[in-house]
Structure 1
Amino acid sequence: MRNEHRGRGFGRPGGWQQADLPDPADVPDWFAGRLPSDWFTGSPVIEIDRDEIVVIGELPIPQPEKPTDSASEADTADKVPNATKDGAIARFRESTRSARMQIANEAQQRYGRSVAWGVSVDGQRYLFTHLAVPVMTRLRQPERKVLDTLVDSGVARSRADALAWTVKLAGKHAEAWLEELRGAMRKVDDLRSEGPKGL
Protein backbone atom coordinates (compact mmCIF):
# COMPACT_ATOMS: atom_id res chain seq x y z
CA MET A 1 0.00 0.00 0.00
CA ARG A 2 1.39 3.38 -0.96
CA ASN A 3 2.27 5.87 1.73
CA GLU A 4 0.51 9.13 0.92
CA HIS A 5 2.53 11.14 3.46
CA ARG A 6 6.01 10.26 2.26
CA GLY A 7 6.30 12.88 -0.46
CA ARG A 8 5.44 15.82 1.80
CA GLY A 9 8.02 18.27 3.06
CA PHE A 10 9.16 18.86 6.60
CA GLY A 11 6.83 20.86 8.80
CA ARG A 12 9.48 22.44 11.00
CA PRO A 13 12.72 24.34 10.50
CA GLY A 14 15.75 22.09 10.97
CA GLY A 15 13.98 19.15 9.37
CA TRP A 16 14.21 16.75 12.34
CA GLN A 17 10.55 15.80 12.33
CA GLN A 18 7.62 15.96 9.95
CA ALA A 19 4.74 17.88 11.49
CA ASP A 20 2.16 16.51 9.06
CA LEU A 21 2.68 12.86 10.05
CA PRO A 22 0.40 11.37 12.72
CA ASP A 23 1.92 11.34 16.20
CA PRO A 24 3.46 7.89 16.82
CA ALA A 25 3.53 8.22 20.62
CA ASP A 26 0.89 5.52 21.13
CA VAL A 27 2.35 3.05 18.59
CA PRO A 28 3.51 0.56 21.29
CA ASP A 29 0.08 0.66 22.95
CA TRP A 30 -1.70 0.15 19.64
CA PHE A 31 0.45 -2.86 18.73
CA ALA A 32 0.06 -4.26 22.27
CA GLY A 33 -3.69 -4.32 21.72
CA ARG A 34 -3.56 -5.46 18.09
CA LEU A 35 -0.96 -8.25 18.03
CA PRO A 36 -2.08 -11.82 18.82
CA SER A 37 -0.92 -12.75 22.31
CA ASP A 38 0.66 -16.04 21.20
CA TRP A 39 3.07 -14.61 18.62
CA PHE A 40 5.89 -13.46 20.90
CA THR A 41 7.23 -14.01 24.39
CA GLY A 42 6.80 -10.64 26.07
CA SER A 43 6.27 -7.28 24.41
CA PRO A 44 7.91 -6.65 21.04
CA VAL A 45 10.62 -4.04 20.53
CA ILE A 46 9.20 -1.25 18.34
CA GLU A 47 11.46 1.22 16.54
CA ILE A 48 9.98 4.24 14.76
CA ASP A 49 11.26 6.90 12.39
CA ARG A 50 9.60 9.18 9.83
CA ASP A 51 9.28 6.43 7.22
CA GLU A 52 8.86 3.14 9.01
CA ILE A 53 7.72 1.25 12.10
CA VAL A 54 9.83 -1.85 12.77
CA VAL A 55 8.28 -4.50 15.03
CA ILE A 56 10.68 -7.11 16.43
CA GLY A 57 9.25 -9.83 18.65
CA GLU A 58 11.02 -12.53 20.65
CA LEU A 59 10.18 -16.05 19.50
CA PRO A 60 10.21 -18.85 22.05
CA ILE A 61 13.50 -20.74 21.85
CA PRO A 62 12.87 -24.16 20.30
CA GLN A 63 14.16 -26.93 22.56
CA PRO A 64 16.48 -29.43 20.85
CA GLU A 65 15.98 -33.13 21.47
CA LYS A 66 17.44 -34.38 24.73
CA PRO A 67 20.81 -36.13 24.37
CA THR A 68 21.06 -39.78 25.34
CA ASP A 69 24.00 -39.57 27.76
CA SER A 70 25.02 -37.14 30.49
CA ALA A 71 28.30 -36.12 28.80
CA SER A 72 26.43 -35.02 25.67
CA GLU A 73 23.90 -33.27 27.86
CA ALA A 74 26.61 -31.12 29.43
CA ASP A 75 28.07 -30.29 26.01
CA THR A 76 24.77 -29.27 24.43
CA ALA A 77 23.13 -27.47 27.38
CA ASP A 78 21.62 -24.11 26.34
CA LYS A 79 22.71 -24.60 22.71
CA VAL A 80 20.05 -24.28 20.05
CA PRO A 81 21.15 -25.49 16.60
CA ASN A 82 21.05 -22.86 13.86
CA ALA A 83 18.84 -25.10 11.75
CA THR A 84 16.28 -25.20 14.58
CA LYS A 85 16.28 -21.38 14.78
CA ASP A 86 15.96 -21.11 11.00
CA GLY A 87 12.99 -23.49 11.06
CA ALA A 88 11.25 -21.55 13.83
CA ILE A 89 11.74 -18.26 11.98
CA ALA A 90 10.49 -19.74 8.68
CA ARG A 91 7.43 -21.23 10.42
CA PHE A 92 6.56 -17.92 12.07
CA ARG A 93 7.12 -15.92 8.89
CA GLU A 94 4.90 -18.15 6.74
CA SER A 95 2.15 -18.87 9.26
CA THR A 96 1.67 -15.19 10.19
CA ARG A 97 2.16 -13.62 6.74
CA SER A 98 -1.45 -12.69 5.94
CA ALA A 99 -2.16 -11.47 9.49
CA ARG A 100 1.02 -9.38 9.52
CA MET A 101 0.05 -7.80 6.19
CA GLN A 102 -3.40 -6.91 7.56
CA ILE A 103 -1.94 -5.39 10.74
CA ALA A 104 0.67 -3.48 8.70
CA ASN A 105 -2.05 -1.99 6.48
CA GLU A 106 -4.06 -0.88 9.50
CA ALA A 107 -0.99 0.67 11.14
CA GLN A 108 -0.03 2.46 7.92
CA GLN A 109 -3.52 3.97 7.67
CA ARG A 110 -3.28 5.12 11.29
CA TYR A 111 0.33 6.36 11.44
CA GLY A 112 1.31 7.15 7.83
CA ARG A 113 4.37 4.88 7.98
CA SER A 114 5.26 1.53 6.48
CA VAL A 115 5.55 -1.42 8.85
CA ALA A 116 8.43 -3.91 8.78
CA TRP A 117 8.69 -7.08 10.83
CA GLY A 118 11.47 -9.04 12.44
CA VAL A 119 12.06 -11.57 15.15
CA SER A 120 14.62 -12.17 17.84
CA VAL A 121 15.68 -15.73 18.63
CA ASP A 122 18.22 -16.63 21.28
CA GLY A 123 19.55 -13.05 21.36
CA GLN A 124 19.91 -12.68 17.57
CA ARG A 125 17.73 -10.40 15.44
CA TYR A 126 16.40 -11.37 12.02
CA LEU A 127 14.64 -8.66 9.97
CA PHE A 128 12.18 -9.50 7.24
CA THR A 129 11.65 -7.12 4.29
CA HIS A 130 12.12 -3.51 5.38
CA LEU A 131 12.74 -0.13 3.78
CA ALA A 132 16.05 1.13 2.47
CA VAL A 133 15.29 4.82 1.97
CA PRO A 134 17.56 6.86 -0.33
CA VAL A 135 19.02 9.99 1.29
CA MET A 136 20.52 12.65 -0.95
CA THR A 137 23.51 14.62 0.29
CA ARG A 138 26.26 16.89 -1.01
CA LEU A 139 29.79 16.21 0.20
CA ARG A 140 32.93 18.28 -0.14
CA GLN A 141 36.24 16.71 -1.12
CA PRO A 142 37.46 15.80 2.42
CA GLU A 143 34.24 13.84 3.07
CA ARG A 144 34.36 12.21 -0.38
CA LYS A 145 37.93 11.12 0.32
CA VAL A 146 36.75 9.31 3.46
CA LEU A 147 34.15 7.41 1.44
CA ASP A 148 36.61 6.65 -1.37
CA THR A 149 39.14 5.27 1.12
CA LEU A 150 36.50 2.86 2.43
CA VAL A 151 35.66 1.80 -1.13
CA ASP A 152 39.31 1.47 -2.25
CA SER A 153 40.17 -0.62 0.82
CA GLY A 154 37.29 -3.02 0.18
CA VAL A 155 35.37 -2.08 3.35
CA ALA A 156 32.48 -0.84 1.18
CA ARG A 157 31.38 -1.60 -2.38
CA SER A 158 30.37 1.96 -3.30
CA ARG A 159 30.19 5.48 -1.91
CA ALA A 160 26.55 4.84 -0.93
CA ASP A 161 27.57 1.67 0.90
CA ALA A 162 30.44 3.54 2.59
CA LEU A 163 28.09 6.31 3.71
CA ALA A 164 25.67 3.78 5.20
CA TRP A 165 28.61 2.11 7.00
CA THR A 166 29.79 5.40 8.53
CA VAL A 167 26.27 6.29 9.68
CA LYS A 168 25.95 2.88 11.41
CA LEU A 169 29.34 3.37 13.06
CA ALA A 170 28.49 6.90 14.22
CA GLY A 171 25.13 5.74 15.57
CA LYS A 172 26.74 2.89 17.47
CA HIS A 173 29.33 5.12 19.15
CA ALA A 174 27.00 8.04 19.82
CA GLU A 175 23.93 6.07 20.99
CA ALA A 176 23.76 7.67 24.46
CA TRP A 177 24.17 11.19 23.05
CA LEU A 178 21.57 10.57 20.32
CA GLU A 179 19.07 9.27 22.90
CA GLU A 180 19.69 12.39 25.02
CA LEU A 181 19.11 14.54 21.93
CA ARG A 182 15.85 12.72 21.14
CA GLY A 183 14.72 13.28 24.73
CA ALA A 184 15.47 16.99 24.42
CA MET A 185 13.45 17.15 21.19
CA ARG A 186 10.50 15.47 22.91
CA LYS A 187 10.70 18.13 25.65
CA VAL A 188 10.64 20.89 23.04
CA ASP A 189 7.57 19.25 21.47
CA ASP A 190 5.82 19.20 24.85
CA LEU A 191 6.65 22.87 25.50
CA ARG A 192 5.43 23.90 22.04
CA SER A 193 2.14 22.08 22.52
CA GLU A 194 1.57 23.71 25.93
CA GLY A 195 2.30 27.24 24.70
CA PRO A 196 3.20 30.18 26.93
CA LYS A 197 1.58 30.12 30.37
CA GLY A 198 -0.61 32.95 31.55
CA LEU A 199 -1.78 34.09 28.10
Structure 2
Amino acid sequence: MTARTTAEAWLAGRLPEDWFTGPVEVSRDRDELIITGTLAAPDLAEDADDTERALAARGRAKTFREETRDRRIEIARELEHLSGRKVSWAVKVGEHEHLFTHLAAPVMTRLRQPERRVLDTLVDAGVARSRADALAWCVKLVGEKSDTWLGELREAMARVDEVRKKGPAA
Protein backbone atom coordinates (compact mmCIF):
# COMPACT_ATOMS: atom_id res chain seq x y z
CA MET A 1 0.00 0.00 0.00
CA THR A 2 1.61 3.20 -1.11
CA ALA A 3 -0.82 5.98 -0.20
CA ARG A 4 -0.81 7.11 3.41
CA THR A 5 -4.58 6.64 3.68
CA THR A 6 -4.91 3.28 1.92
CA ALA A 7 -4.77 1.17 5.10
CA GLU A 8 -7.13 3.51 6.91
CA ALA A 9 -9.61 3.47 4.02
CA TRP A 10 -9.48 -0.33 3.72
CA LEU A 11 -9.97 -0.70 7.47
CA ALA A 12 -12.91 1.73 7.45
CA GLY A 13 -14.70 -0.66 5.13
CA ARG A 14 -13.47 -3.88 6.76
CA LEU A 15 -13.72 -3.33 10.52
CA PRO A 16 -17.00 -3.99 12.32
CA GLU A 17 -18.70 -0.66 13.03
CA ASP A 18 -19.35 -1.48 16.68
CA TRP A 19 -15.70 -2.10 17.65
CA PHE A 20 -14.47 1.46 18.09
CA THR A 21 -15.92 4.88 18.87
CA GLY A 22 -14.43 6.41 15.71
CA PRO A 23 -11.96 5.79 12.90
CA VAL A 24 -8.77 3.89 13.73
CA GLU A 25 -5.28 5.36 13.63
CA VAL A 26 -2.59 3.47 11.74
CA SER A 27 1.03 4.02 12.70
CA ARG A 28 3.57 2.52 10.36
CA ASP A 29 7.21 1.86 9.82
CA ARG A 30 9.06 -0.33 7.32
CA ASP A 31 8.14 -3.52 9.17
CA GLU A 32 4.77 -3.09 10.87
CA LEU A 33 1.38 -1.41 10.90
CA ILE A 34 -0.18 -0.80 14.31
CA ILE A 35 -3.93 -0.31 14.22
CA THR A 36 -5.18 1.70 17.21
CA GLY A 37 -8.86 2.06 17.95
CA THR A 38 -10.58 3.92 20.75
CA LEU A 39 -12.95 2.01 23.03
CA ALA A 40 -15.71 3.58 25.08
CA ALA A 41 -14.53 4.24 28.61
CA PRO A 42 -16.14 2.14 31.33
CA ASP A 43 -18.78 3.82 33.48
CA LEU A 44 -17.26 4.67 36.84
CA ALA A 45 -18.30 6.78 39.77
CA GLU A 46 -17.35 10.44 39.38
CA ASP A 47 -15.02 10.20 42.37
CA ALA A 48 -13.07 7.24 40.91
CA ASP A 49 -9.33 7.71 41.32
CA ASP A 50 -6.57 7.14 38.74
CA THR A 51 -5.91 3.60 39.95
CA GLU A 52 -9.56 2.62 39.52
CA ARG A 53 -9.65 4.22 36.06
CA ALA A 54 -6.49 2.36 35.03
CA LEU A 55 -7.88 -0.96 36.27
CA ALA A 56 -11.18 -0.41 34.48
CA ALA A 57 -9.34 0.54 31.27
CA ARG A 58 -7.18 -2.58 31.51
CA GLY A 59 -10.30 -4.71 31.98
CA ARG A 60 -12.06 -3.11 28.99
CA ALA A 61 -8.97 -3.67 26.81
CA LYS A 62 -8.65 -7.30 27.94
CA THR A 63 -12.31 -8.01 27.20
CA PHE A 64 -11.99 -6.47 23.73
CA ARG A 65 -8.81 -8.42 23.03
CA GLU A 66 -10.34 -11.76 24.02
CA GLU A 67 -13.74 -11.25 22.35
CA THR A 68 -12.34 -10.04 19.01
CA ARG A 69 -9.21 -12.22 18.71
CA ASP A 70 -10.31 -14.49 15.85
CA ARG A 71 -11.75 -11.67 13.77
CA ARG A 72 -8.71 -9.42 14.37
CA ILE A 73 -6.39 -12.23 13.24
CA GLU A 74 -8.42 -12.66 10.05
CA ILE A 75 -8.38 -8.93 9.29
CA ALA A 76 -4.68 -8.67 10.13
CA ARG A 77 -3.79 -11.52 7.76
CA GLU A 78 -5.68 -9.83 4.94
CA LEU A 79 -3.98 -6.49 5.59
CA GLU A 80 -0.56 -8.17 5.90
CA HIS A 81 -1.11 -9.70 2.47
CA LEU A 82 -2.09 -6.32 1.02
CA SER A 83 0.63 -4.25 2.71
CA GLY A 84 3.55 -6.66 2.99
CA ARG A 85 3.94 -5.67 6.66
CA LYS A 86 3.06 -7.32 9.95
CA VAL A 87 -0.10 -5.98 11.57
CA SER A 88 -0.51 -5.37 15.30
CA TRP A 89 -3.36 -3.97 17.36
CA ALA A 90 -3.73 -1.43 20.15
CA VAL A 91 -6.66 0.18 21.92
CA LYS A 92 -7.13 3.44 23.77
CA VAL A 93 -9.47 3.54 26.73
CA GLY A 94 -9.66 7.04 28.17
CA GLU A 95 -6.07 8.14 28.66
CA HIS A 96 -4.70 4.60 28.71
CA GLU A 97 -3.28 2.81 25.67
CA HIS A 98 -2.87 -0.96 25.51
CA LEU A 99 -0.67 -2.46 22.79
CA PHE A 100 -1.35 -6.11 22.01
CA THR A 101 1.29 -8.53 20.74
CA HIS A 102 3.52 -6.57 18.40
CA LEU A 103 6.69 -6.95 16.41
CA ALA A 104 10.11 -6.59 18.02
CA ALA A 105 12.42 -6.19 15.04
CA PRO A 106 16.14 -6.79 15.46
CA VAL A 107 18.32 -3.85 14.50
CA MET A 108 22.02 -4.38 13.94
CA THR A 109 24.40 -1.57 14.77
CA ARG A 110 28.09 -1.01 15.35
CA LEU A 111 29.05 1.10 18.33
CA ARG A 112 32.39 2.50 19.34
CA GLN A 113 33.63 2.24 22.91
CA PRO A 114 32.08 5.52 24.21
CA GLU A 115 28.61 4.41 23.08
CA ARG A 116 29.14 0.87 24.42
CA ARG A 117 30.17 2.34 27.78
CA VAL A 118 26.84 4.20 27.95
CA LEU A 119 24.98 0.93 27.39
CA ASP A 120 27.19 -0.95 29.86
CA THR A 121 26.56 1.71 32.53
CA LEU A 122 22.80 1.24 32.12
CA VAL A 123 23.23 -2.53 32.40
CA ASP A 124 25.55 -2.28 35.43
CA ALA A 125 23.12 0.09 37.15
CA GLY A 126 20.24 -2.33 36.66
CA VAL A 127 18.32 0.02 34.35
CA ALA A 128 18.53 -2.60 31.58
CA ARG A 129 19.17 -6.34 31.50
CA SER A 130 21.39 -6.28 28.42
CA ARG A 131 22.99 -3.95 25.90
CA ALA A 132 20.01 -4.58 23.60
CA ASP A 133 17.57 -3.54 26.34
CA ALA A 134 19.73 -0.52 27.14
CA LEU A 135 19.76 0.56 23.51
CA ALA A 136 15.97 0.16 23.26
CA TRP A 137 15.61 2.24 26.45
CA CYS A 138 17.82 4.98 24.96
CA VAL A 139 15.84 5.06 21.72
CA LYS A 140 12.55 5.28 23.64
CA LEU A 141 13.90 8.10 25.81
CA VAL A 142 15.13 10.09 22.81
CA GLY A 143 11.77 9.54 21.10
CA GLU A 144 9.90 10.90 24.13
CA LYS A 145 12.22 13.86 24.67
CA SER A 146 12.36 14.97 21.05
CA ASP A 147 8.84 14.07 19.91
CA THR A 148 8.14 17.55 18.52
CA TRP A 149 11.36 17.61 16.52
CA LEU A 150 10.80 14.09 15.16
CA GLY A 151 7.24 15.05 14.17
CA GLU A 152 8.51 18.07 12.25
CA LEU A 153 11.12 15.90 10.54
CA ARG A 154 8.48 13.35 9.50
CA GLU A 155 6.27 16.14 8.11
CA ALA A 156 9.19 17.52 6.12
CA MET A 157 9.97 14.07 4.70
CA ALA A 158 6.31 13.62 3.71
CA ARG A 159 6.42 16.95 1.88
CA VAL A 160 9.60 15.89 0.03
CA ASP A 161 7.83 12.69 -1.05
CA GLU A 162 4.89 14.74 -2.37
CA VAL A 163 7.20 16.98 -4.41
CA ARG A 164 9.11 13.96 -5.78
CA LYS A 165 5.86 12.38 -6.98
CA LYS A 166 5.06 15.53 -8.98
CA GLY A 167 8.42 15.40 -10.76
CA PRO A 168 9.29 13.59 -13.96
CA ALA A 169 9.27 9.80 -13.87
CA ALA A 170 12.73 8.31 -13.42
User: TM-score under structure 2 normalisation?
Assistant: 0.88
Paired amino acid for 2:133: D
Paired amino acid for 1:182: R
Paired amino acid for 1:42: G
Find the counterpart in structure 1 of residue 22 from structure 2: 42
Find the counterpart in structure 2 of residue 33 from structure 1: 13
The answer to which structure has the higher helix fraction is: 2
Q: Deviations over 1:99-138 (max 9, x none)?
A: 1111101111111111101111121111110000000000
TM-aligned CA distance change 1:38 to 1:149, over 3 Å = same
The answer (yes or no) to whether the contact 1:57–1:119 under 8 Å persists in 2 is yes
Q: Name the SS of the counterpart of 1:96 in structure 2.
A: helix
Find the counterpart in structure 1 of residue 147 from structure 2: 175
Deviation at 1:45, TM superposition (A): 2.4
Find the counterpart in structure 2 of residue 23 from structure 1: 2
Distance 1:156 1:188 in 2: 38
Moved over 6 A (4+): none
Q: Name the SS of the counterpart of 1:178 in structure 2.
A: helix
Of residues 133-142 and 33-42 in structure 1, the stretch that sits farther from structure 2 once superposed is 33-42
The answer (yes or no) to whether the contact 1:62–1:80 under 8 Å persists in 2 is no
Q: Confirm whether residue 103 of structure 1 aligns to residue 102 of structure 2.
A: no
Deviation at 1:38, TM superposition (A): 0.6
RMSD over aligned CA atoms reads: 2.2
Distance 1:94 1:137 in 2: 37
Percent sequence identity is 53
Q: Confirm whether residue 128 of structure 1 aligns to residue 100 of structure 2.
A: yes
Deviation at 1:163, TM superposition (A): 0.2
The answer (yes or no) to whether the contact 1:63–1:80 under 8 Å persists in 2 is no
The answer (yes or no) to whether the contact 2:54–2:96 under 8 Å persists in 1 is no
Q: Name the SS of the counterpart of 2:26 in structure 1.
A: strand
Of residues 123-132 and 84-93 in structure 1, the stretch that sits farther from structure 2 once superposed is 84-93
Deviation at 1:96, TM superposition (A): 0.9
The answer (yes or no) to whether the contact 1:24–1:111 under 8 Å persists in 2 is no
The answer (yes or no) to whether the contact 2:57–2:96 under 8 Å persists in 1 is no
Distance 1:108 1:74 in 2: 42
Q: Deviations over 1:71-112 (max 9, x none)?
A: xx6644898555543332222112111111111011111111
